[in-house]
């Protein structure tokens, strides 16, 4: 059930609808949009009788939802969501750049990259303190010590920190030190973790699972939102296919597919999608061209010495050049769109 409020509905009209939803034993999720607020209803197993709402003040219509997802849907919020991450935003026209090393290794390594990322004009810094490694013997990340280094990056460079959590304790720690909690590809269907993330107040960067379909990806976001955290950013990071010339296959078609169904911002990770330094630039350009709201890119001061994902890391110089190129491309696409937009 989706309850669409009239454009002139007041806050008390909205509160009243939520109260009625709660009295029925369900949960109401008000989503303010550009022209009106819609209220999603979750927790109901069968259909809800629309007559409960039809005659309440401020209600335009009560619509039955037949799709498997409710809160991620453009039906609920026809415009695009703009998500606040620290002191900046993702979605809504600007191209967001999240850049930094795969893993936090040492303060020196992290600060070298942070200086370059801040100087480029990017507003977000990445770096893993908890690393999901295929081998249990590989470097697993520096844990809380790594998060403290990232918090210093925010203080010194004013960059907003995006970093992965792999379990509930990790979520608590990232909530304390970071600005955005990344849920990695391998955890996209860790439903108890998704629910826990839904109870936090920090935005969530949700990466697509290695073999997740569009519906599975959107329903994973729905898990987070159903718990009351509506600040979800989706990330396409490549999927497993038969192709073996790249680490994964970047599925750029998911960007328009998501934008058709959902109001959530979607970003591209050309680093994990390719696994190769030389592919990052062309795939990043493809991400901008296809309409992504941003990119997340790995950068290392000395890629050959990286403890994790060195082969796909850009050097600081490559990153700086790419950043300029992508902003120029993004601006020219938007100028074209503005010229061709109906008056
Ligand atoms: C990462 O961003 O470092 C990472 C491990 O990503 P993914 O979950 O997409 O593999
Ligand atoms: Mn990595």
Over residues 52-82, the pLDDT tens digits come to 999 999 999 999 988 889 999 999 998 999 9
Closest approach atom of ligand 1 to CA 184: 8
d(CA 133, CA 307): 11
Of all protein residues, whose CA lies closest to atom 3 belonging to ligand 1? 102
Domains in the chain: ranges and CATH: 2-63 (3.30.70.1140), 83-339 (3.20.20.70)
Backbone dihedral angles phi then psi of residue 82, each to the nearest 5 degrees: -115, 120
**Ligand 1 center to residue 69 CA distance, Å?**
25
Distance 315 CA to ligand 1 centre (A): 19
Q: What is the model's pLDDT at position 116?
A: 98
Could you identify the atom of ligand 1 that is nearest to the CA of residue 102? 3
Atom of ligand 1 nearest to the CA of 237: 9
Pocket of ligand 1 (CB under 6 A): 102, 128, 132, 184-186, 207, 237, 269, 272
- Please name which ligand lies nearest the alpha carbon of 128: 1
Alpha carbon of 102 to ligand 2 centroid (Å): 4
Q: Give DSSP secondary structure letters for 96-155.
A: EEEEE-SB---HHHHHHHHHHHHHHT--EEE-BSS---SSTTS----THHHHHHHHHHHH
Q: Which residues contact 117 (CB under 8 A, 6 or more apart)?
A: 97, 99, 100, 125, 157, 159, 299, 319
From the CA of 208, give the closest atom in ligand 1.
Answer: 9
Task: Give the pLDDT score at 65.
Answer: 87
**186 Cα–ligand 1 center, Å:** 8
Q: Going residue by residue through the chain (343 aa), what tens digit of pLDDT does each one get? A: 999 999 999 999 999 999 999 999 999 999 998 899 999 999 998 889 999 999 999 999 999 988 889 999 999 998 999 999 999 999 989 999 999 999 999 999 999 999 999 999 999 999 999 999 999 999 999 999 999 999 999 999 999 999 999 999 999 999 999 999 999 999 999 999 999 999 999 999 999 999 999 999 999 999 999 999 999 999 999 999 999 999 999 999 999 999 999 999 999 999 999 999 999 999 999 999 999 999 999 999 999 999 999 999 999 999 999 999 999 999 999 888 878 777 6
By the CB criterion, residues less than 5 angstroms from ion ligand 2 are 102, 309
Angle subtended at Cα 267 by Cα 41 and Cα 84, rounded to the nearest 5 degrees: 60
Q: What is the pTM of this model?
A: 0.96
pLDDT value for 343: 67
User: How high is the pLDDT of residue 342?
Assistant: 73
Q: Which residue's CA is the closest to the ligand 1 atom numbered 6?
A: 184
Whose atoms come closest to the Cα of 296: which ligand?
1
């Amino acid at each position: 059930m989706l309850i669409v409020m009239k454009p002139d509905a007041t806050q008390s009209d909205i509160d009243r609808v939520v109260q009625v939803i709660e009295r029925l034993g369900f949960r109401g999720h008000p989503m303010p949009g550009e022209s009106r607020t819609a209220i999603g209803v979750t927790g109901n197993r069968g259909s809800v009788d629309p007559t409960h709402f039809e005659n309440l003040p401020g209600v335009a219509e009560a619509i039955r939802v037949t799709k498997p997802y409710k809160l991620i849907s453009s039906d609920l919020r026809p415009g695009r969501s703009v998500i606040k991450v620290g002191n900046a935003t993702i979605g809504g026209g600007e191209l967001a750049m999240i850049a930094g090393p795969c893993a936090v290794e040492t303060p020196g390594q992290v600060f070298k990259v942070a200086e370059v990322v801040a100087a480029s004009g990017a507003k977000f810094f990445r770096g893993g303190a908890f690393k999901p490694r295929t081998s249990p013997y590989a470097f697993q990340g520096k844990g809380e010590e790594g998060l403290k280094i990232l918090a210093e990056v925010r203080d010194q460079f004013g960059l907003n920190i995006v970093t992965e959590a792999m379990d509930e304790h990790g979520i608590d720690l990232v909530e304390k030190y970071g600005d955005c909690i990344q849920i990695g590809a391998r955890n996209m269907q860790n439903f108890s973790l998704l629910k826990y993330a839904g109870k936090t107040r920090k935005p969530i960067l949700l990466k697509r699972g290695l073999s997740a379909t569009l519906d599975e990806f959107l329903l994973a976001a729905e898990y987070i939102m159903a718990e009351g955290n509506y600040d979800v950013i989706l990330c396409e990071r490549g999927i497993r296919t038969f192709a073996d010339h790249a680490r994964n296959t970047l599925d750029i078609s998911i960007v328009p597919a998501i934008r058709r169904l959902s109001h959530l911002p979607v970003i591209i990770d050309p680093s994990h999608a390719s696994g190769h330094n030389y592919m990052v630039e062309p795939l990043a350009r493809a991400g901008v061209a296809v309409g992504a709201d941003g990119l997340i890119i790995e950068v290392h001061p000395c890629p050959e010495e990286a403890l994790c994902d060195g082969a796909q890391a850009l050097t600081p110089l490559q990153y700086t050049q790419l950043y300029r190129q992508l902003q120029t491309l993004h601006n020219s696409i938007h100028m074209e769109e503005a010229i061709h937009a109906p008056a």
